[in-house]
Structure 1
Amino acid sequence: MTVIVDCHVHLEGREKVDEILKAMDSAGIDVIFAFSAYPGRIIGYGSYVEYDLHKQREVAEHVANLQKEAPDRIVGFLWLEPLLEKAVEVLEWAVTKLELRGVKMIPNHWYPYDEKLLKVYEKIEELNVPIIFHSGILWGFGDSSRFCRPANYEILLKFPKIRFALAHIGWPWVDECIATWGHFRVEAQRAGRRDIQMYIDATPGTPPLYRKEALQKVFAYGAEDYVIFGSDSHIGNLVEARKIIERDITLLRDHIGLPETSIRKYLGENALRFVGIRK
């Protein structure tokens, strides 16, 4: 049986569990990683963002309540803004008190290797929850794409217990994303670790024109056990995720020639392992 997990679903902060489950059932999705609503307010073209500690807590509580109502189907992720003065405190509260199971971050005018991020990484490593980072071109936060290059995340080599995924296969820097995964693979081998800490979130960002080539490269390079499906959907348009699933299955099975075992890993098994769920 194929379990379908969408690792990349955005919330707006007003959704009810019944509408989410209905949308998931309509799309044929078993589990979603639900990102709490964005905790900031973008002003102008995105060069300035207001962050609100109250808003950060409010959106965390919303996704936590949804997860509590449907724990087998909704995996709550905290969209954390690490520039908040109390980011580490909020992170610990969200994981230990609200029981959220992962962290989402987008480098909006900060580099993943900035010194101010180190305490956040230390706490995430201590809490043993995974991170999904945006990587690749960034539409919506002004001139922030340069902060999201895949190689910027090599700082996580200093935190080998952190599992993390780079979203969108880093498009348009697909080769750089795959090469970065290769770097983490080599470092894991050198350290005698069985598992590689980096995963590749194949959520589109790669337009259809580039999709086949990108997925073919990911699998050919050996990342079969570390690539996870996502749609970048909102609950209101989760039906679009079904179209992406069907398109990807066609590419993987009919054009790239992958066996069903590999497709099952991609559609759900790898994602469940990423968050430590066994089904």
Structure 2
Amino acid sequence: MTGFSIIDAHVHTYGSRKIGRQAMMGSGHTDYGGTVDELLDLMVRGGIEKAVMVNMTPVVEMFDAAVAKLPSDLSGAELAEAKNDIRRQMIGRLQRRNQWTCEMAREHPQLTAFIGLDPSMSDEELVAEIDRRRDEGAGGIKLHPANQRFYPNDRRLWPVYQRAQELDLPIIFHSGAFPAYGGPRPTDHAHPRYFPEVLSAFPHLTVVMAHLAFGDFAACADLARAHPNVFFDCCYIINGTEKSPALNDEEAAAALRLVGTDRVMFGSDYPWFDPVLDAARIQRLPLTDADKRAVLRENALRVLAL
């Protein structure tokens, strides 16, 4: 048990250890598998009272892999029909994962469900999925511009932002660079430059930029000053498994103060990182106890309406 109450605002969960390890693609810094039972045990060990499951489905990656297996001699019409069938299958998998995430949150009140969406869905599909999962208890939405290959200011997402704003559902975005685990990945889609248009167009939408834009602290600070509806989490970039890239404790504390300790939430990115070790590192940083309480718990309570 630690000296501070803690909320982990950024975890991923999977139906089995095997699925979780496959999702990590060898890029994790732990031997964890991302199961709910494993997470709950860690929460007890670390004094973590709540955790936010930001589960998503890599529709683009799965779609590309399935298309690559199609016969090479398909006609244009056959190829189009096959791709449409694959798209429907992938969206079905996304919907089933959302359903499972909501079920886990209902079974375990210390967990909160954030659902995934994909830009390939129609406006009607997007809004219907939000409404359906909101009725099932979802507390927010998770989007990953880099993995899903869209820019935050892509107009295809406008219906999502509008409906989320209407329902007071926060949206957590991956922000900043995306490590090239397992091969080249797009790295520009989640750059901070693509967020101001969204923040201005939807001033009552709560936007959380995960990972502090992968260390672009100056850009985060600029956004925080200009837009009262943007917040951040510090998962990956400030962790306890290993020193954050180029950040010692003094530099990590300075980054939090620069962006604003009232704007940043603790997150672990479990199972990639260890939530117990990550929370312990925040507690060791040269910050005031008030700042630590804000980052570790109070900001998440307020921002995510937990």
If the TM-score is normalised by the length of the shorter chain, which range does it land in? 0.7 to 0.9
Deviation at 1:41, TM superposition (A): 6.0
Q: Which amino acid aligns with 2:166?
A: E
Superposition pairs of residues 237-252 of structure 1, within 5 angstroms:
240-251=274-285
Aligned partner (choices 228, 234, 239) of residue 202 of structure 1 = 234
Q: Is the counterpart of residue 93 in structure 1 residue 93 in structure 2?
A: no
Partner of 2:116: 79
Q: Helix, strand or coil: the match of 2:225?
A: helix
Q: 1:261 to 1:176 in 2, by over 3 A?
A: same
Partner of 1:124: 164
Superposition pairs of residues 91-240 of structure 1, within 5 angstroms:
91-95=130-134, 97-107=135-145, 108-139=148-179, 142-154=184-196, 155-184=198-227, 196-205=228-237, 207-210=244-247, 212=249, 213-221=251-259, 223-234=260-271, 240=274
Superposition pairs of residues 21-100 of structure 1, within 5 angstroms:
21-40=40-59, 42=61, 52-71=90-109, 73-85=110-122, 86-95=125-134, 97-100=135-138
Q: In 1, distance between residues paired with 2:126 and 2:171?
A: 15
- CA deviation string 1:93-141 (max 9, x = no partner): 111x211001110012211111111111111111111011000111258
Deviation at 1:43, TM superposition (A): 5.2
Q: In 2, distance between residues paired with 1:105 and 1:179?
A: 22
Deviation at 1:44, TM superposition (A): 10
Q: In 1, distance between residues paired with 2:199 and 2:114?
A: 19
CA RMSD of aligned residues (A): 2.6
Q: Give the TM-score, by structure 2 length.
A: 0.75
Q: Give the TM-score, by structure 1 length.
A: 0.82
Q: In 1, distance between residues paired with 2:222 and 2:64?
A: 32
Q: Which amino acid aligns with 1:228?
A: M
Q: In 1, distance between residues paired with 2:162 and 2:210?
A: 22
Deviation at 1:227, TM superposition (A): 0.8
Q: Which amino acid aligns with 1:150?
A: P
Q: Percent identity among equivalent residues? A: 26
Q: Helix, strand or coil: the match of 1:5?
A: strand
> Does the CA-based 8 Å contact 1:11-1:34 persist in structure 2?
yes
Q: Which moved more, 1:206-215 or 1:1-10?
A: 206-215
Q: Helix, strand or coil: the match of 1:148?
A: coil
Q: Which amino acid aligns with 1:276?
A: A
The structure with the larger Rg is 2
- CA deviation string 1:128-187 (max 9, x = no partner): 110110001112584321111112111221111111111111124221122112221xxx
Structure 1 moving runs of 4+ over 6 Å: none
* Structure 1 spans left out of the alignment, 5+ residues: 185-195
Q: Which moved more, 1:121-130 or 1:77-86?
A: 77-86
> Does the CA-based 8 Å contact 2:14-2:36 persist in structure 1?
no
Partner of 2:299: 270
Q: Which amino acid aligns with 2:224?
A: W
- CA deviation string 1:59-118 (max 9, x = no partner): 1111111111122x10111022233232222122111x2110011100122111111111
Q: Helix, strand or coil: the match of 1:180?
A: helix
Q: In 2, distance between residues paired with 1:45 and 1:178?
A: 36
Q: In 1, distance between residues paired with 2:258 and 2:104?
A: 38
* Structure 2 spans left out of the alignment, 5+ residues: 17-33, 69-85, 239-243
Q: In 2, distance between residues paired with 1:91 and 1:170?
A: 26
> Does the CA-based 8 Å contact 1:17-1:70 persist in structure 2?
no
Q: In 1, distance between residues paired with 2:35 and 2:144?
A: 25
Deviation at 1:214, TM superposition (A): 4.5
Q: In 2, distance between residues paired with 1:43 and 1:62?
A: 19
